[in-house]
Amino acid sequence: MITPPPAMQQALQELLGPSGYLTDPSSLQEYGRDWTRFTPPAPSAVALPGSIEDVQAIVRLARQHRVPLVPSGGRTGLSGGAVAGQGEVVLSLARMNRILGLDTVGRSLSCEAGAITGNVQAAARAEGLIYPVDFASSGSSQIGGNIATNAGGIQVIRYGMTRNWVTGLKVVTGTGELLELNKGLIKNNTGLDFRHLMIGSEGVLGIIVEATLALATPPRDPRVMVLGAPSMTAIMAILEQCQGALSLLAFEFLSDLALEKVINAHGLQPPLQARAPFYALVEFEDPAQGDDAPILTLVENCMASGWVADAVLSHSEAQRRSLWRLREDISETIAKWTPYKNDIATTVANVPILLERVEALIADRYNDLEVVWYGHIGDGNLHLNILKPESSSVDAFQQRCATVSRELFGILSDLGGSVSAEHGVGLLKKEFLTFSRSKTEIGLMREIKKLLDPDGILNPGKLIEL
Ligand code: 2HG
Ligand code: ZN
């Protein structure tokens, strides 16, 4: 366990004042963890800088005293990337949350790293534009954290991941230097683009302090349809039909167990009269502006092929939102079972074979446990949550799941898939990184870390070590 020396504690207090340097037990608990619940939080202090200069000063102090820092955003991550369990100092961007400017002609927005995603989305909406990267945690996740984890979400099939929307970054490296990357330019072919090195680097190369984001035109009349399907194979067939016929914004799926958990927890009505093993939730721009005929034809064709048993289509914004809740509320609803999470991806073409092999693995290894499936199947991303039975200890449960994960990741490795699609590596997936990245790549990551964080003070223990 690390304890910052008194000289560093005093310097931080003087730099940040009483509201910027916290050591009370409840702040340590709160800022020391993210949404994972496998590692007890134990930071020694929380530093809340108010400016880029503060961040630089904190990094220099940490370097001088060899005290590790854990960069911290909204702490909504699901891989333990923002967990501080070793006496580290948490460097929270929460006070650096301003939106700095919005350019309607250039269609971009600049903000500090601690800006809440939902506030950025609202600022764009107020000008008739959108920041289209969206997920259930938009109300508390922060832009800096989204960039550091290259967050995905529910409309990746249409808009891509966070990476696609970052046009400029300011980053403080592990030496305290400030890098200004790409400066909001759309075109800039002047050699290596370090911006992309920082996106998804999970706080191990630098601390993101400001960002410039691209904005887009809002979709026209989005509508949502939920379809009940007999199998995952049918879900993929529905995807193909929808891709051909609709301007898709999202194509999600959930299993009946996922639906059951959400409707029971929130007292909601099931969307369809008859239950089905799986459901597709499809969002699209309305091609015929309220005329349901083309969509009904698509559904009828799917029914005639046996891929769809029943379907419901939103006719109002309220209905669209309530159908989305069935999907978006899953993660939070099942959190009380301390689920073991797999966030896996393959190419869309390989999804059917992946599903077949994963279904067989689950039937064999988890036949006594509840397994909740859902995810962004339209972009090849599945979330597999194994619910912890009350009778198991957290450690025993995690060990058992980690063993099965090795088999699962072996399957993924054969298919060229990824052990973490959108949640990052952090603490939880670190031991499995070799299933998705070669030794050469991991070695290069380490060399790059050495250049940018020579003393290894940035988020040690996560993703890669020096
Ligand atoms: C989602 O798609 C989030 O709802 C969370 O990525 C996934 O909790 C999960 O496994
Ligand atoms: Zn997801």
CATH 3.30.70.2190, applies to 222-331: yes
The protein residue whose alpha carbon is closest to atom 9 in ligand 1 is 331
Atom of ligand 1 nearest to the CA of 152: 6
CA angle 27, 31, 37 (to 5 degrees): 115
> Is 173 close to ligand 1, i.e. is its CB under 6 Å away?
no
Mean pLDDT of the region 437-453: 98
Phi then psi for 186, rounded to 5 degrees? -90, -35
| Domain segments of the chain as ranges | 6-95, 99-214, 222-331, 338-438
Fold annotation for 99-214: 3.30.465
> Which token pair is 193?
């683009």
* The two domains 222-331 and 338-438 share their CATH topology (first three levels equal): yes
Q: What is the pLDDT of residues 416-439, one digit of tens each?
A: 999 999 999 999 999 999 999 999
The protein residue whose alpha carbon is closest to atom 10 in ligand 1 is 383
Query: What is the model's pLDDT at position 289?
Result: 80
The protein residue whose alpha carbon is closest to atom 2 in ligand 1 is 375
Mean pLDDT of the chain, nearest integer: 96
**How far, in Å, CA of 131 to CA of 124, rounded?**
6
The protein residue whose alpha carbon is closest to atom 4 in ligand 1 is 331
Mean pLDDT of the region 191-197: 98
Query: What is the model's pLDDT at position 286?
Result: 87
Query: What is the model's pLDDT at position 320?
Result: 97
User: How many Å lie between the centroid of ligand 1 and the Cα of residue 383?
Assistant: 6
The structure's pTM equals 0.96
The CATH code of the domain at 338-438 is 3.30.70.2740
User: How many Å lie between the centroid of ligand 1 and the Cα of residue 79?
Assistant: 11
Query: What is the model's pLDDT at position 268?
Result: 93
Q: What is the pLDDT of residues 32-59, one digit of tens each?
A: 999 998 889 999 999 999 999 999 999 9
Q: Best substitution site from 326, 423, 428, 429 to test ligand 1's pocket, by max atoms within 8 Å of Cβ?
A: 423
Query: What is the model's pLDDT at position 291?
Result: 85
Q: What is the pLDDT of residues 317-326, one digit of tens each?
A: 999 999 999 9
Mean pLDDT of the region 216-240: 96
**How far, in Å, CA of 280 to CA of 310, rounded?**
11
> Is 341 close to ligand 1, i.e. is its CB under 6 Å away?
yes
Spell out the alpha helix ranges (H) of 127-231. Answer: 143-148, 156-159, 194-198
Atom of ligand 1 nearest to the CA of 154: 2
User: How many Å lie between the centroid of ligand 1 and the Cα of residue 382?
Assistant: 9
Mean pLDDT of the region 237-256: 96
- Three-state SS string across 228-286, please? EECCHHHHHHHHHHHHHHCEEEEEEEEEHHHHHHHHHHHCCCCCCCCCCCEEEEEEEEC
Fold annotation for 6-95: 3.30.43
